[in-house]
Chains A and B, each alone.
Chain A
């Protein structure tokens, strides 16, 4: 049986596998799954997605059930709950609209699965602001790309192919020099330009990045470093880096909040942002925070226009509140009385929960113990259309449906639960 409606011709799609949201991709399944302009991450995403059973059924305490019964059971859990947690939130714009609506009706707390890293970006932006750029600006203007604590391609595989090594750009600039600071050495080293130019690697342990970035800030402010080395790096290396940044016409500094798994990562990001800000006193430079995926940019944007806040927020009697500390999944798992875990793009493992659990999303989703309710939904960009924010938030792109399945979309499921709740309260 064919598991897609791709007949003989490849179709052009938008790939939701990472924040680059490549829409120059075409997908075909004849004779085998292949992607033109695809990447390993995209191939893996579609292989896994198209291998899921299009006929997956809901489960109640592990036993197959109708969608209607599963909806009733989920609504019952939420109607009894005084403080539910909606976590995971792996979804796109339309799904998040419906999630937010249900959250408002149920006084739920909202947290995205990747917010442990994301909130460090959000809080930096809220504390000092920042100067950032977008993908097409990088493609056409960047003459230096400095990646801090990330190889970029691990999470965003086509980044350099599309934005650095493209031969077409508007302003006759040179191919940008790539410098990796404190990035995974093996994978960073592999980013060799088609013309054979190798990237520069400045090794540093992730935990020592704050020290290095602060030293760069000191040098940029004209201070002298009275040390033999900074985190094992010779001062001349850092001086050389600062000179390159100052000489660049449009330097782009890339970081990944998700990869900065260190205490006080927020302060490290703050220092990066400060470096960008200072550079802009004399030349042009910009920052680019990488996203972590699973619709994080979409979820935070939608949540913000609907409630005034990105996630780690909650509703209290219809009034939104925001607290990046108390409303984390980790903290809420201890105090909430119901959990709804949502992950539509990927079958991420559900965190262990004590309170009654509703799990909604990818048909292959993994649960440690059997949830009270499991409702499989279609995968956005595979089973149904959708809308998604790119990592730089400036662009929203349509996702296409590539196969016919009986799986409902997340927003259909959310709307049904909300309708069921309403009918119970008015009955």
Chain B
């Protein structure tokens, strides 16, 4: 059965197609070359005048695992409250409602899948899987329909790794451990959150700077970043080390962020939700934008990629592995409550509800800093569109964010409503840039697919999975991106006019680099002596993800070696 998408305006940056009118043919869930005239076309969609892109890929979104479930559990008041608040809002900020919308900053797994695909997203990656909690993360993602999933496993605060580093184990041993973790947790990338800091908090350290020692291990965040970025590089996996820098949210942290860029000695690193790490200490309130310095450094340092973690105004919840900084920030929680955990000599977490307000100086400036970064980083292949869902705002606010990037007038009108002191501290209105559809397609599709190493997603070339989104070109980009005409998932028509018409199940993307299984000898001893679970039960098999017939593991092989 062949499906023909006819006469669409194609935005496919992976193949330098910028609005060309072309036909797309789909067969068995894949995009194929134009078939012979003798082949029967089973169905045809006339896409004349429509904008066609690959399905969007969210490369950083907290969609599954312990801390998100804590966020769901601890905030039952959201549902009713947000339902009311949304009703009372004259214009949607940080949220677009559809019939399936739960009005929840942390939707259920079903709502997560539905809301993503209804916006034209066909994949999302959980960026903070603590290895001991990976089974839960995959269970939740396994119950998330409509989209492909994947995750990054957190290392760098686990006692096993820090012991290796303190003992000056050679890089090969570290590489083997990192590869073993990727296999055991069914992850596609490695993340480090507040390198060394989560661990240091367990020893009662309250802050950790890039060149400061963890009191117990006497190793620094810089050494952790060096070792892990080297391991990721040596193993040849596509996704660069995903780094949540030290000192998240602290005034003056931009200096740490700038220093961090050099910590990998030129090896690729991805600095995530950089908005939360771009704060200076200028002005009366000792809190200022350092977006210009950060953007300049990113423009210069070609080995660095980043995503923004834009904040948008409204109620949300922050769920982070960074127990150290979340504990420090718990006093700012709104409503005032926090769940903080120390987890298994492996990780930590901190969950705090937040309400970002446009009349609050810090919040207003955070909003502006995020946009300044988007507009000042020149290469759209190295910056990605995220709100660090749900930390800056729920992912459901992406259409609003896209409009802010594409529409200068709209952006400046929003800016004019902010806290006046914050306005005085931002150069946002001097930034005239407006993102093009082609650039949006890069940062939400082609760039994200390339960054993670999904060879057959994020583009519309022959052989690619037929994850395709079709929009009506509208001047109101928020309206346009919140309600695609069609979304195809692996060739199936899954969404029509912004509504799910067919429930489908995506795959789980992983990376499985080769490694020396001998690493298990020492690991087994570690588990037997110090952990409270068996090593064999720590490991997640492919069958666990695929056994109910809905999921499937896809391993992306490295091609660097």
Identify the A interface with B (CB < 8 A): 12, 14, 23-24, 93, 97, 122, 125-137, 139-141, 162-163, 168-171, 249-250, 280, 283-284, 286, 300-301, 304-310, 320, 322, 387, 389, 393-398
Given A250-B202, A304-B72, A394-B341, 17 more A-B residue pairs with CB atoms under 8 Å apart are A126-B73, A126-B77, A128-B337, A136-B346, A136-B530, A137-B343, A139-B530, A169-B530, A284-B201, A305-B143, A306-B108, A306-B109, A308-B102, A387-B135, A393-B66, A394-B66, A394-B132
**Contact call B73/A163, Cβ cutoff below 8 A:** no
Interface residues of A, dominant DSSP: mixed
A322, closest chain B residue (CB): B76
Interchain CA distance A137-B204 in the complex, whole Å: 14
**Contact call B204/A308, Cβ cutoff below 8 A:** no
Known interface pairs A306-B109, A393-B66. Does A135 touch B140 (Cβ–Cβ under 8 Å)? no
Shortest Cβ gap from A128 to chain B (Å): 5
**Contact call B216/A171, Cβ cutoff below 8 A:** yes
- Across the interface, which residues of B come within 8 angstroms of A24, CB to CB? 528, 534
> In the complex, which residues 325-350 of chain B have their Cβ closer than 8 Å to any Cβ of chain A?
327, 330, 333, 337-346
**Contact call A136/B108, Cβ cutoff below 8 A:** no
Shortest Cβ gap from B221 to chain A (Å): 20
- Across the interface, which residues of A come within 8 angstroms of B341, CB to CB? 131-134, 394
Q: Quick one: which of B337, B528, B534 contacts A127, CB cutoff 8 A?
A: B337
Most chain B CB within 10 A, of A14, A140, A141, A286, is at A140
Q: Quick one: which of A131, A140, A170, A171 contacts B340, CB cutoff 8 A?
A: A131
Q: Quick one: which of A129, A169, A283, A286 contacts B342, CB cutoff 8 A?
A: A286
Interchain CA distance A393-B64 in the complex, whole Å: 14
- Across the interface, which residues of B come within 8 angstroms of A130, CB to CB? 339-340
**Contact call A136/B531, Cβ cutoff below 8 A:** yes
**B interface size (C-beta, 8 A):** 58
- Across the interface, which residues of B come within 8 angstroms of A139, CB to CB? 530, 532
Known interface pairs A127-B337, A306-B143. Does A137 touch B345 (Cβ–Cβ under 8 Å)? yes
Query: What are 20 A-B residue pairs whose CB atoms fall within 8 Å in the complex?
Result: A23-B534, A125-B74, A129-B338, A129-B352, A131-B338, A132-B339, A136-B346, A136-B530, A137-B342, A137-B345, A139-B530, A140-B345, A141-B342, A162-B532, A169-B530, A170-B159, A308-B79, A308-B106, A398-B537, A398-B544
Interchain CA distance A134-B347 in the complex, whole Å: 11
- Across the interface, which residues of B come within 8 angstroms of A97, CB to CB? 143
**Contact call B530/A170, Cβ cutoff below 8 A:** yes
CB of B69 closer than 8 Å to a CB of A: yes
> In the complex, which residues 277-317 of chain B have their Cβ closer than 8 Å to any Cβ of chain A?
none
**Contact call B139/A135, Cβ cutoff below 8 A:** no
Contact with A along B54-94 (1 / 0, CB 8 A): 00000000001010110011111101000000000000000
Contact with A along B1-20 (1 / 0, CB 8 A): 00000000000000000000
Shortest Cβ gap from B503 to chain A (Å): 13
A309, closest chain B residue (CB): B76
Shortest Cβ gap from A89 to chain B (Å): 16
Known interface pairs A126-B76, A130-B339, A137-B342. Does A306 touch B110 (Cβ–Cβ under 8 Å)? yes
The 10 closest A-B pairs by CB, nearest first: A129-B337, A168-B529, A136-B344, A135-B532, A129-B338, A396-B135, A131-B340, A129-B339, A133-B342, A136-B532
B135, closest chain A residue (CB): A396
Q: Quick one: which of A132, A250, A395 contacts B344, CB cutoff 8 A?
A: A395
**Contact call B73/A395, Cβ cutoff below 8 A:** no
CB of B133 closer than 8 Å to a CB of A: yes
B339, closest chain A residue (CB): A129
- Across the interface, which residues of A come within 8 angstroms of B110, CB to CB? 306
- Across the interface, which residues of B come within 8 angstroms of A171, CB to CB? 216
**Contact call A305/B530, Cβ cutoff below 8 A:** no
Shortest Cβ gap from B24 to chain A (Å): 35
- Across the interface, which residues of B come within 8 angstroms of A395, CB to CB? 132-133, 135, 344, 532-533
- Across the interface, which residues of B come within 8 angstroms of A170, CB to CB? 159, 163, 345, 530
CB of B136 closer than 8 Å to a CB of A: yes
Interchain CA distance A97-B330 in the complex, whole Å: 33
- Across the interface, which residues of B come within 8 angstroms of A129, CB to CB? 74, 330, 333, 337-340, 351-352
Known interface pairs A129-B74, A284-B202. Does A308 touch B342 (Cβ–Cβ under 8 Å)? no
A127, closest chain B residue (CB): B337
- Across the interface, which residues of A come within 8 angstroms of B345, CB to CB? 136-137, 140, 170
A123, closest chain B residue (CB): B76
Interchain CA distance A307-B337 in the complex, whole Å: 22
- Across the interface, which residues of A come within 8 angstroms of B528, CB to CB? 24
Interchain CA distance A226-B72 in the complex, whole Å: 43
